[in-house]
C-alpha cells in the first residue's frame, strides 16, 4: 500500500472502529476479545507497505478484520486442542471428575528451600568450579564443550566438577 492508501485505511478504521467493535462483540460475545482484535487490525494497518491502490477501502478493512478474527479463532482452537491433549495425558479422572496429581504445599515449600540452599552453595564455589558446574549441570554442556567454552582441558573440567560436587555434597543439609 502506498502511504496514501495506508492513511486512507487508518482514517477509515478510526471512523468505523465502533462498528467493527460491535460486529466483533456480536461474533465473540466477549468485549475484551473484540477489543484485542480491533487493536490487532489497527496494528496491521500501521505495518502495511506496498504501492497498490484500493478500489474499495471499506471492503478491504472488513476483510482484514475478518482475517484477524479468523486467526484468533484458529489460535483459540489450537490452544483448546493442546490443553485437552495435555489434560488427557496429565490429569487422571475418577468418576468423570479430574484429579490433579500436584504436590502438596509442604513439598513445594521443601523443594523451594532445597533449591535455594543449592543455589547458595553454587554461589560459594570458586569461580572456575562454579562456571564449569553451571555450564555442565544447568546449561547441559558436555565436559568437552565446557572445556572449549572455558579454554581449559577436559581433565581440568573434570577436576572443577569433582571439586564442586564434593563441596556441595559436604555442605548440603542432611535429609535431602
- What is the pTM assigned to this prediction? 0.49
Per-residue model confidence (pLDDT) at position 101: 67
With vertex at residue 6, the alpha carbon angle to CA 75 and CA 16, rounded to the nearest 5 degrees, is 70
In a domain, residue 176? The reply is: no
Per-residue model confidence (pLDDT) at position 1: 52
Per-residue model confidence (pLDDT) at position 85: 83
40, 90: one domain: yes
109, 157: one domain: yes
How many domains is the chain partitioned into structurally? 2
User: Is it the case that residue 109 has pLDDT exceeding 60?
Assistant: yes
Per-residue model confidence (pLDDT) at position 102: 72
Query: How would DSSP label each residue in 58-96?
Result: HHHHHHHHHHHHHHHHHHHHHHHHHHHHHHHHH-EEETT
Q: Any idea which residue has 504445599 for its cell?
A: 105
12, 49: one domain: yes
77, 121: one domain: no
Segments forming the whole domain that contains residue 109: 105-171
CATH number of the domain encompassing residue 161: 1.10.10.10
Per-residue model confidence (pLDDT) at position 21: 93
The whole-number average pLDDT for the span 61-76 is: 93
| The domain boundary residue, chosen from 61, 94, 127 | 94
| The domain boundary residue, chosen from 63, 94, 125 | 94
CATH number of the domain encompassing residue 87: 1.10.1740
CA dihedral (164, 167, 172, 176) in degrees, to 10, reads 60
37, 57: one domain: yes
The whole-number average pLDDT for the span 143-148 is: 93
In a domain, residue 125? The reply is: yes
In a domain, residue 100? The reply is: no
Q: How confident is the model at residue 9 (pLDDT cuts 50, 70, 90)?
A: confident
73, 139: one domain: no
User: Is it the case that residue 87 has pLDDT exceeding 50?
Assistant: yes
The whole-number average pLDDT for the span 24-31 is: 92
d(CA 119, CA 112): 10
Contact between 161 and 122 (Cβ < 8 Å): no
60, 38: one domain: yes
| The domain boundary residue, chosen from 94, 128, 156 | 94
In a domain, residue 121? The reply is: yes
Amino acid at each position: 500500500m502506498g502511504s496514501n492508501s495506508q492513511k486512507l485505511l487508518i482514517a477509515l478504521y478510526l471512523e468505523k472502529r465502533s462498528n467493527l467493535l460491535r460486529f466483533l462483540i456480536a461474533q465473540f460475545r466477549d468485549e475484551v476479545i473484540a477489543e484485542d482484535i480491533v487493536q490487532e487490525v489497527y496494528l496491521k494497518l500501521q505495518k502495511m507497505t506496498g504501492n497498490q491502490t484500493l478500489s474499495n477501502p471499506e471492503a478491504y478493512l472488513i476483510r482484514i478484520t475478518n482475517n484477524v478474527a479468523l486467526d484468533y479463532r484458529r489460535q483459540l482452537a489450537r490452544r483448546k486442542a493442546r490443553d485437552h491433549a495435555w489434560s488427557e495425558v496429565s490429569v487422571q479422572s475418577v468418576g468423570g471428575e479430574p484429579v490433579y496429581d500436584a504436590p502438596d504445599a509442604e513439598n513445594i515449600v521443601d523443594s523451594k528451600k532445597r533449591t535455594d540452599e543449592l543455589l547458595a552453595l553454587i554461589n560459594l564455589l570458586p569461580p572456575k568450579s562454579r562456571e564449569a558446574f553451571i555450564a555442565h549441570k544447568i546449561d547441559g554442556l558436555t565436559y568437552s564443550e565446557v572445556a572449549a567454552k572455558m579454554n581449559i582441558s577436559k581433565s581440568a573440567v573434570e577436576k572443577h566438577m569433582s571439586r564442586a560436587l564434593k563441596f556441595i555434597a559436604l555442605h548440603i543439609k542432611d535429609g535431602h
